Structure 1
Amino acid sequence: KAVIKAESDFDPRAVSHKGAQGLMQLMPETARGLAVTNPLDPHENIFGGTRYLALLLKRFGNDKRKALAAYNAGPERVIQSKGIPSIPETVAFVERVLKYYQKFHSSLK
């Protein structure tokens, strides 16, 4: 939910200037790799996006910050920088998602 809020503000038809699509803003190549045939379909997009995030969490030893940075900037950039790349957009994305996560998580209590 936090990633969706940060990526598309819950707009299933969102398309970024870089071509990312849908609620979780999947890039076309990433969507294809996750067997998502229609990234603008909310169910497919969430299925693909959460699967991708789970793969990144596993790849980065369950480190949420690194996984989120990889979701935004790509796993290779996280590997190359040995952590969160010093890309302002990526740093802001990680902080924004974690802030939304905290907000949504605390509202459930």
Structure 2
Amino acid sequence: MTFGAGLSCVLAQAQIYTGAGDGGSVVLSNHSSGETPLLLIAAEAPPSPPLAPQPSAPSTPARTMPAARSTPPTLAPVIREAARRHDVSESLLTAVIAVESGFDPRAVSPKGARGLMQLMPDTARRFGVKDVFAVHDNLHGGAAYLRQLITLFENDLSLALAAYNAGEGAVMRAGRRIPAYPETREYVAKVLAHAARGASPGAANP
């Protein structure tokens, strides 16, 4: 099953594993195997209870997510290099950028997240990003953070993305599940959908 063809399963919260197939395609399966070793999204669990009191927004700014569009040609090689260096799927990294900033390197959120990958100041400092508006610096800082989250959550991309949006602490407090923030749940679905389109054979953006 290709990434794109299996998207409905992913968004339905099935237990989905992924891996690389022939010709660079992305393979989905409901079983872990040598071909599909990475957990893309965990099986549906009962919704996590709201935190008390439930914040009105996760730790990253509540905002209207920019409409995803095609990767600008000038950014494609930089994204590819950052994905390779930090061992992150290129289609996933591209999807995070598309949803976070709409590929705008000067994007600033109401709460101060900046640049292509919408890094908060503390996150930028944590990953040694000196110029948050510099494409190379922001991309590598964000990719390093995403890789750390993927490792922390044992290759469960849905939890890694939830943590990128709401913070690691929110995911941990929710019992290592996607927190009950509407924005975060929408964010995870949008990133996975964009990544699925990008990873489909023949897609314009890998």
TM-score between both structures, scaled by the size of structure 2: 0.52
**C-alpha deviation, 1:101, in angstroms:** 0.2
Partner SS for 1:68: helix
> 1: CA distance between counterparts of 2:187 and 2:132?
21
Aligned partner of 2:196 among 81, 94, 102 = 102
Aligned structure 1 segments of 4 or more residues deviating by more than 2 angstroms = none
Q: 2-side partners of 1:40 and 1:92: how far apart?
A: 26
- Render the CA deviation track for 1:55-79: whole Å, top value 9, x for unaligned: 0000001100000000000000000
Letter of the 1:84 counterpart: I
Q: Percent of pairs identical after alignment?
A: 50
Give the gaps of 5 or more residues in structure 2: 1-93
Q: Which has the higher helix share?
A: 1
Q: Which structure 1 residue ranges, 5 or more long, are not aligned?
A: none
Larger radius of gyration: 2
User: Which residue is 1:17 aligned to?
Assistant: 110
**Deviation sequence 1:13-41 (CA, Å, 0-9, x none):** 00001110000000010000000011111
The aligned counterpart of 1:3 is 96
In 2, the alpha carbon distance for the partners of 1:6 and 1:53 equals 14
Measure, in 1, the Cα distance between the counterparts of 2:101 and 2:139. Answer: 12
The equivalent position to 1:63 in structure 2, one of 152, 156, 174, is 156
Q: Which amino acid aligns with 2:166?
A: A
- Residue aligning to 1:29: 122
Distance 1:100 1:18 in 2: 25
Compute the TM-score of the two structures, normalised by the length of structure 1: 0.97
Determine which structure has the larger strand proportion and give its number: 2
Q: Shift in Å at residue 86 of structure 1?
A: 0.6
Q: Which of 33, 46, 49 does residue 139 from structure 2 map onto? A: 46
Question: Which amino acid in the other structure matches residue 89 of structure 1?
Answer: E
Query: Quick one: which amino acid aligns to residue 77 of structure 1?
Result: A
Deviations 1:46-102 (A, max 9, x none): 000000000000000110000000000000000000110010110011000001000
